Amino acid sequence: MLVVLSKALAFVLIILIGYICKRRGFFSPTDYQVVSKIVLNITLPCAVINSFAHFKMDFSLIAAVVLGLCGNLVMLFVSLMLTRGDTPATKIFYIFSLAGYNIGCFTLPFAQAFLTPFAVVGLCMFDVGNSIMCT
C-alpha cells in the first residue's frame, strides 16, 4: 500500500511543481509548445512502445476498442439530451466538452505505474476507440 501511495504522491508532486513554476514565472507563455511537442512526440510513443514490448495478440482487446467507441457515444447522447432546446452553439460546446477521455497525457502515466503492461495495452486499445470518436 505504501508503494502505491508513494507513486501517486510522486505524480501529484510533479503536477504541483509544474504549477508552482508556472505561477512564479519560470516558464514563458510560449513554453507550452516545446513541452507539448516533447510529450506528444517522445514521451507518449516511448510509453506505448514499452507497453507493447512483450505483447501477444489477444482478440479480447477488440472489446476495449468497442468500449471506447461506446463510451464516447453515450456521452454524445448525454450532451444532446442536456442541451435540448438550446442554441446550436451550446449544443456544439457540450458535444465537444463531454465526449473524449484524456488517456495519453493523464491516464497513461498512472496506468504504467500501477498496472501490468498488458493492462496498459488494453488502455491503449480503449484509446483507439476514443480517438476515433474525438476526431
Supply 90's cell numbers. 451550446
pLDDT for 1 beyond 70 = no
Percent of the chain at pLDDT exceeding 70: 99
C-alpha cell at 119: 493492462
pLDDT of residue 105: 73
pLDDT at 90: 92
Contacts of 120 (CB under 8 A, 6+ apart): 47, 51, 108, 111, 112
Q: Decide if pLDDT at 98 tops 80.
A: yes
Helix or strand holding residue 62 (H, E): helix 62-82
- DSSP state for residue 57 in the 8-state scheme: -
Question: N- to C-terminal Cα distance for the chain?
Answer: 39
More confident residue, 135 or 130: 130
- Cα dihedral sign for 109, 113, 117, 122? negative
More confident residue, 8 or 16: 16
User: Where are the chain's structural domains?
Assistant: 2-134
> Residue 76: pLDDT above 70?
yes
Q: Is the pLDDT of residue 117 over 90?
A: no
Which ranges of 83-116 would DSSP assign to H, the alpha helix? 88-98, 108-114
